[in-house]
Chains A and B, each alone.
Chain A
Amino acid sequence: MRLAVVFFALLTAACSPDIGSGTYFCGPERLCPPDLTCDDTSYTCVTPASAMPFSCPAGFDDTEPDSDMANARDLGELECGVPAIQNATSCVVAGDAGDYYKFVYNQDCQGANPHLEIRLRYPIALVPLQLELLDGSGTVLASGELCTSPIDTTGRDRVCIDIPPVTGTTYYVRVVRPADAPNCDGDCDSNQYLLDILFPLSGS
């Protein structure tokens, strides 16, 4: 009888997925294995006891209010080949209209392919974010396209805009939460993000 129990246990143990706490990033809308839950701060699947609620990175509200063009975070004038901002960490919380960033391009930079590379990265687990580039009149010049690498192992999605700048233009970058974005029925309606506004003079 004991042998039969051991044999049965071996059989069943041999074919059950064994997923440890913290070994997976959460999937869309906090998707995790049934016995684990999503930790909103590290966006990894952990045991329910060690899961923490969502919180924005420290200092994220230093630039608030930045929820419209008039109050956009001013990044100054864009220099040739110099990033306007890199690895900027911020947060969009429930009820926030979004974050605006402003910069001006007055140069006439020379190069094989001078262009703006705007990259937005955010955890897949929480509400997806939208990236847009606007001109001074509020017209949307470009919308971000999902460009996450298939071999990305960071648990984040990436959205890209590549566009050549026009001299004498004031640009606004807007990071918003789309109205119809999946948000765990309101439970994961906030997200943090990393923003890069690069200005390489060559390359694709």
Chain B
Amino acid sequence: MKGVILPIVIAALVCAAPAAAWAQPPTHSAVSSAVAADQPDYFGKKTVPQKVSFRQARTRTRKQQIVLASLFGAAVVFGGLGLYFHLDSRHASNEISFVGGTPRRTYDRSVADTRDRAMRSRTLAIVGYSISGALLVATIVAMAKTQPGEEIVTIDDEKAPATTVPVSFMVVPGGAIVGKVWRF
């Protein structure tokens, strides 16, 4: 157990060293005695940027998302209907299609009905595919039109909410560890 705790304590001390240096700045007299006026002040407070800006992808509004999903869903539904009628039409067509050879069948009312079904399903398949295609195009256009793009987000340090600095405390055999987070 000691083997685990020791490195943690050392790491905590190493990390805390700069903070300790910052927390207890040397007095002006001490600094002036140690550092010449024209030399850089390595131990002085660094200038920390007060604002951070970065790019962030925007998201579509809920309404836009619903419209896009509806368009795409309708395109899928009409495409499915088109496929259904396409397959029905093809099945009916294959049933009665003869290209050559001697007559093998009479073109009676049942054959005529099958042909009518094939042609009707063919028309419905074309209508279904056409509507589906139009809806897909509309979906793509709507996606392009509602492209949210990116925004530049700036985090202002002064306006940022005060950071709470947690303090952790853990009891270990023979003692305890206290941990604290500083920002610098």
Which A residues contact B (CB, under 8 angstroms)? 11-12, 14-20, 22-28, 31-33, 44-45, 124, 153, 155
Would A11 and B86 count as touching, CB distance under 8 A? Answer: yes
Would B105 and A24 count as touching, CB distance under 8 A? Answer: yes
**A/B interface sample: 23 pairs, CB < 8 A:** A14-B86, A15-B86, A15-B90, A15-B118, A15-B121, A16-B89, A17-B115, A18-B98, A18-B99, A19-B96, A19-B97, A19-B98, A20-B100, A22-B102, A22-B103, A23-B100, A23-B101, A25-B103, A25-B105, A25-B106, A27-B106, A27-B108, A28-B109
Q: Is the interface of A mostly helix, strand, loop or mixed?
A: loop
Would A31 and B107 count as touching, CB distance under 8 A? Answer: yes
| Segment 64-112 of B: residues with Cβ below 8 Å from A | 86, 89-90, 92-93, 96-109, 111-112
Would B126 and A12 count as touching, CB distance under 8 A? Answer: yes
Residues of B with C-beta under 8 A to A124:
106, 108
Would B115 and A33 count as touching, CB distance under 8 A? Answer: yes
Would B126 and A11 count as touching, CB distance under 8 A? Answer: yes
Query: How would residues 112 to 153 of chain B score, 1 for a CB under 8 Å from any chain A CB and 0 otherwise?
Result: 101100110110011001000000000000000000000000
Residues of B with C-beta under 8 A to A16:
89, 93, 118-119, 122
Listed from nearest, the 8 A-B pairs whose CB atoms lie closest are A15-B89, A23-B98, A24-B107, A27-B108, A18-B97, A20-B99, A25-B106, A27-B107
Q: From B108, which residue of chain A is reached at the shortest CB distance? A: A27
A118 vs B102: C-alpha distance when bound (angstroms): 28
Query: How would residues 31 to 69 of chain B score, 1 for a CB under 8 Å from any chain A CB and 0 otherwise?
Result: 000000000000000000000000000000000000000
Would B104 and A153 count as touching, CB distance under 8 A? Answer: yes
Chain B residues bordering chain A, tally (CB within 8 A):
30
Residues of B with C-beta under 8 A to A23:
98-104
Q: Is the interface of B mostly helix, strand, loop or mixed?
A: helix
Residues of A with C-beta under 8 A to B102:
22-23
Known: A14-B90, A18-B97, A24-B107. 15 other contacts (CB 8 A): A11-B125, A15-B125, A17-B97, A17-B119, A18-B93, A23-B103, A23-B104, A24-B103, A25-B106, A25-B107, A27-B108, A27-B109, A31-B108, A33-B112, A33-B115
A26 vs B112: C-alpha distance when bound (angstroms): 11
Q: A11-B126, A14-B90, A31-B108 are in contact. Are A44 and B96 (CB under 8 A)?
A: no
Would B103 and A11 count as touching, CB distance under 8 A? Answer: no
Residues of B with C-beta under 8 A to A28:
108-109
Would A26 and B92 count as touching, CB distance under 8 A? Answer: no
Q: From A38, which residue of chain B is reached at the shortest CB distance? A: B107
Q: A11-B126, A16-B119 are in contact. Are A27 and B112 (CB under 8 A)?
A: yes
Q: A31-B112, A124-B108, A153-B105 are in contact. Are A20 and B98 (CB under 8 A)?
A: yes
A31 vs B113: C-alpha distance when bound (angstroms): 12
